[in-house]
Chains A and B, each alone.
Chain A
Amino acid sequence: MLTAFAIFADGLVYAAYLFIVAIGLTLIFGVMKILNVTHGSFYAFGAYGAATAVGIYANAGWPAALGFLFMLAFGMAIGLVMGVILERGLLRLVYGRDEVIVVLVTYATFLILEDVIVLIWGAQSYAAYQPMVAAGNIEIGDLILSNYDLVLVALAAGLAALAYWALKYTRYGRLLTTVIFDRETAAAFGINVTVVYTATFILGAMLGALGGAVMAPKISVTLGIGVEVIVLAFAVVAIGGMGSIEGALVGALIVGICRAAAVHLVPQIELFVIYGVMALVLVVRPYGLFVRARPRKI
């Protein structure tokens, strides 16, 4: 019973992490059809930015809650700047090229940004544990849960709800849905696709940086954290269906629960869980769980 509860709790926390990391990726793919490798850099920059912010507020002696918000804001601001620069300065130039070419553009950008991190922050690692420590923990039976993890779950749920509401009930959301469904028709109806693209990319970048910022207190912010996240986020998005927000949510939950179950019950297979689930889902549903039938264009 305890194990079942632990699996559920751990799975939820891990799923929250995955969803926060994956939502920006799936959004950009859905709208722009770009598999954005630079997402890993957004995550890393968000984490480094958050660590810097935590350093600032810890020295200034601000209250923890304020510090937490400052950290998120700082991380997302970095995402905003990066999003603007990359979309306006680079991606704009390759719209209309092969999808795969655009992936490689983002891959090249990722490589460059990895070294930019070294130039800005150096090779040493950073810690930003203060918000997590300040949050404390609660005891449930034998298990002790970190309140910070619960905040993460709430944040993920909030993001999911917000995305759902925004897509369904706001003007921008509906425009977005139109562009996701058919870009050319949307343009023909007078939607300014260029603006939608720019806005989406910036939003995606900010979400990626947010992922890094909220994870920063839990991890040691060090070189190479972006690489790990890319493949993880790709897997979640591929399982759920590229470009689908609800898919990312379900994908994150499936992977989160499966991984937690593996760690508790059969730790030997933990390494394969994510790729195993991904291969399995793709075999059954080649384009992921939540993907609409695509029109055949002849």
Chain B
Amino acid sequence: MSARTRILPALVALAAVAAVLPAGAQQPATVKLGIVSFLTGPAASPFGIPGRNGAEIVIEALNAGKAPPPFDKVGFGGSKVEAKYVDEAGSAANVVTEFRNLVQRDQVDAVVGYVSSGSCLAVTPVAEELKALTVFYDCGTPRIFEEKPRRYVFRVSPHATMDNVAAARYVLAKKKNITSYSGINQNYAWGQDSWRDFEGAMKVLAPKATADKVLFPKLFAGEYGAEISTLLTSKSQILHTSFYDGDLESFIFQEQARGLDKRMTIIMTTGETAIWRLKDKMPDGTIIGARGANGPLARDTEINRWFQKIYTDRYNTPPTYPAYQMAQSLLGLKLAYEKAAAAGGKPNADAVAAAFTGLEFTGPAGHVKMALGEGHQGITETAYGTYKFNKQTKMPEIVDIVRFPAECVNPPPGIDADKWIAGGMKGAKC
């Protein structure tokens, strides 16, 4: 597919000349997927690129029929998978435009992608309108399936509420006598939601402890001197942060220069994306999350070893959680597709969506149950652990891993995550 064949129709149409477009010729032998994630901008390196790499390597393995069972059928139900990678960078208008282009111009069979919750929220109504099968892989907001039931939109990866509820549970299990906690989160939806869930869970689980310093520096601020001073004057035992990549690393460098981690234990809900790069610069004793049982927090199963190996062999670095989330999303979509294809012929979006609803399967990151949002939102177990840099092997290690069953840290079906936490997390099975 050369670039020119795509530019030409676009130009013709956009010059506002009525033209009959060459219909996107569809070969029955392939399944076309649009894979969207950040390829540029600050979110590319921590989330977008590992996500794209995960897609590349998994699709390659699937097309070769080399994945372990039950994923060993070639491609999707015998048809090779052809992927088109698109950058998520840009405004909501750009994201929606590119989504339409994928579905209507490139005629993909499904779109898998999106890191930013804003992108997911913007794409959802369009996907429903266009009846386009869409699987979100990384975005965290629970609002997608809480605002309205969806038909064509799915998310295999659990939403972000789980991360912060589990963080609170881990902290309280490992540290006795916590009287005070602080938080530093980026001043935008992700940071605000993370803190709200964490503080809510702490209020329920440890009503006597109080929140001391609640800081929301500007996104990508880069300089945290005043924040670190404020925290140094606090008596909190723990510090919650949902910082990632650039901001996380800047913060870690600056706080280490001033010894903050000697005063309080830092809990990083997305810390796992940074450990392979930071190595001994990540303070020992930091509590690390990976938005699920991903990466070093995943169970040692055959399929996990397989995924670790193919990814590490290709990219010379172990897969981080966005790669896991992408793999889980693609494998889930594959199973749903094959279930729908069992009826014969190439399944349409409705058939795949029906097969996807309520699906259960086990991937590299463990067992997924599409339990929430009327069978559209997955839940999995999750885990937290404590960071330790192994000086002999010069490799990061996660020790003291505690696993939390899916039903312990996710709301039961039919109740909004916020309300579940505020109402005392009733029905949690731990």
Do A and B touch, yes or no (CB under 8 Å, in the complex)? yes
Q: A137-B258, A218-B250, A267-B214 are in contact. Are A124 and B225 (CB under 8 A)?
A: no
Q: A127-B281, A219-B246 are in contact. Are A145 and B233 (CB under 8 A)?
A: no
Q: A3-B233, A137-B259, A146-B254 are in contact. Are A118 and B40 (CB under 8 A)?
A: yes
Partner of B45, one of A7, A223, A225, A268: A223
Q: Indicate whether A220 reaches chain B with its CB closer than 8 angstroms.
A: yes
Binds B, one of A10-18, A34-42, A57-65, A97-105: A10-18
State which residues 209-225 of A face B: CB under 8 Å.
215, 217-220, 222-225
State which residues 176-218 of A face B: CB under 8 Å.
215, 217-218
Closest to B278 in A: A127
Inter-chain residue pair count (beta carbon < 8 A): 135
Binds A, one of B215-223, B367-375, B407-415: B215-223
Query: How far is A223 from B216 in the complex, measured between Cα atoms in Å?
Result: 22
Whether A123 and B49, one on each chain, are in contact in the complex, defined by CB atoms closer than 8 angstroms, is: yes
Whether A133 and B49, one on each chain, are in contact in the complex, defined by CB atoms closer than 8 angstroms, is: no
Q: Indicate whether A248 reaches chain B with its CB closer than 8 angstroms.
A: no
Whether B225 and A13, one on each chain, are in contact in the complex, defined by CB atoms closer than 8 angstroms, is: yes
Query: How far is A144 from B225 in the complex, measured between Cα atoms in Å?
Result: 11
Q: A127-B281, A263-B226, A264-B226 are in contact. Are A144 and B259 (CB under 8 A)?
A: yes
State which residues 273-299 of B face A: CB under 8 Å.
277-278, 281
Query: How far is A108 from B115 in the complex, measured between Cα atoms in Å?
Result: 28
What are the interface flags for A1-43 relative to B under an 8 Å C-beta threshold, 1 for contact and 0 otherwise?
0110011011101100100000000000000000000000000
Whether A133 and B256, one on each chain, are in contact in the complex, defined by CB atoms closer than 8 angstroms, is: yes
Closest to B187 in A: A271
Q: Indicate whether B229 reaches chain A with its CB closer than 8 angstroms.
A: yes
State which residues 227-264 of B face A: CB under 8 Å.
227, 229-230, 232-233, 245-250, 253-254, 256-260
Q: Indicate whether B41 reaches chain A with its CB closer than 8 angstroms.
A: yes
State which residues 372-389 of B face A: CB under 8 Å.
none
Query: How far is A223 from B257 in the complex, measured between Cα atoms in Å?
Result: 23
Q: A228-B222, A263-B227 are in contact. Are A220 and B259 (CB under 8 A)?
A: no
What are the interface flags for A138-161 relative to B under an 8 Å C-beta threshold, 1 for contact and 0 otherwise?
000011111011000000000000
Query: How far is A224 from B45 in the complex, measured between Cα atoms in Å?
Result: 12
Q: A13-B225, A123-B49, A127-B281 are in contact. Are A224 and B232 (CB under 8 A)?
A: no
Q: Indicate whether A129 reaches chain B with its CB closer than 8 angstroms.
A: yes
Shortest B134–chain A CB gap in Å is 25
Q: Indicate whether A87 reaches chain B with its CB closer than 8 angstroms.
A: no
Q: Indicate whether A135 reaches chain B with its CB closer than 8 angstroms.
A: yes
Q: How large is the interface on A (under 10, 10 to 19, 20 to 34, 35 or more residues)?
A: 35 or more
Chain A residues within 8 Å of B225, by CB: 10, 13-14, 149, 260
Whether B218 and A219, one on each chain, are in contact in the complex, defined by CB atoms closer than 8 angstroms, is: no
What are the interface flags for B318-362 relative to A under an 8 Å C-beta threshold, 1 for contact and 0 otherwise?
000000000000000000000000000000000000000000000
State which residues 163-183 of B face A: CB under 8 Å.
none
Chain A residues within 8 Å of B214, by CB: 267
Q: A219-B250, A219-B253 are in contact. Are A123 and B281 (CB under 8 A)?
A: no
Which has the most chain A C-beta neighbours within 10 Å: B222, B248, B257, B258?
A: B257
Query: How far is A196 from B45 in the complex, measured between Cα atoms in Å?
Result: 41
Chain A residues within 8 Å of B254, by CB: 132, 146, 218
Whether B42 and A143, one on each chain, are in contact in the complex, defined by CB atoms closer than 8 angstroms, is: no
Shortest A19–chain B CB gap in Å is 13
Q: Indicate whether A170 reaches chain B with its CB closer than 8 angstroms.
A: no
Partner of A6, one of B229, B259, B260, B281: B229
Partner of A267, one of B215, B220, B229: B215
Query: How far is A132 from B257 in the complex, measured between Cα atoms in Å?
Result: 7
Shortest A138–chain B CB gap in Å is 10
Shortest B276–chain A CB gap in Å is 11
Q: Indicate whether B202 reaches chain A with its CB closer than 8 angstroms.
A: no
Chain B residues within 8 Å of A2, by CB: 233
Q: Indicate whether B81 reaches chain A with its CB closer than 8 angstroms.
A: no
Q: Indicate whether B39 reaches chain A with its CB closer than 8 angstroms.
A: yes
Query: How far is A143 from B227 in the complex, measured between Cα atoms in Å?
Result: 12
Whether B249 and A127, one on each chain, are in contact in the complex, defined by CB atoms closer than 8 angstroms, is: yes
Whether B229 and A148, one on each chain, are in contact in the complex, defined by CB atoms closer than 8 angstroms, is: no
Q: Indicate whether B44 reaches chain A with its CB closer than 8 angstroms.
A: yes
Chain B residues within 8 Å of A146, by CB: 254, 257-258
Query: How far is A228 from B256 in the complex, measured between Cα atoms in Å?
Result: 23
Partner of A220, one of B216, B229, B233, B246: B246
Query: How far is A286 from B335 in the complex, measured between Cα atoms in Å?
Result: 64
Shortest B91–chain A CB gap in Å is 14
Closest to B234 in A: A142
What are the interface flags for B26-53 relative to A under an 8 Å C-beta threshold, 1 for contact and 0 otherwise?
0000000000000111101100010000
Query: How far is A279 from B246 in the complex, measured between Cα atoms in Å?
Result: 29
Whether A125 and B230, one on each chain, are in contact in the complex, defined by CB atoms closer than 8 angstroms, is: no
Closest to B235 in A: A142
Shortest A119–chain B CB gap in Å is 12
Query: How far is A142 from B39 in the complex, measured between Cα atoms in Å?
Result: 43
Chain B residues within 8 Å of A145, by CB: 258
Whether B222 and A219, one on each chain, are in contact in the complex, defined by CB atoms closer than 8 angstroms, is: yes
Closest to A141 in B: B233
Chain B residues within 8 Å of A3, by CB: 233
Closest to B254 in A: A218
Q: A259-B226, A270-B218 are in contact. Are A220 and B281 (CB under 8 A)?
A: no
Shortest A48–chain B CB gap in Å is 13
Query: Would you mind naming 23 contact pairs between A and B with Cβ atoms under 8 Å apart?
Result: A6-B229, A10-B225, A14-B226, A124-B45, A125-B245, A125-B249, A125-B277, A127-B277, A129-B253, A142-B233, A143-B232, A144-B232, A218-B222, A218-B250, A220-B248, A220-B250, A222-B246, A223-B40, A225-B246, A228-B221, A260-B225, A263-B226, A270-B187
B-contacting residues of A (Cβ < 8 Å)? Answer: 2-3, 6-7, 9-11, 13-14, 17, 115, 118, 123-125, 127, 129, 132-133, 135-137, 142-146, 148-149, 215, 217-220, 222-225, 228, 259-260, 263-264, 267-268, 270-271
A-B residue pairs, 9 tightest by C-beta: A220-B249, A10-B226, A263-B226, A146-B257, A222-B246, A219-B250, A224-B42, A6-B229, A260-B226
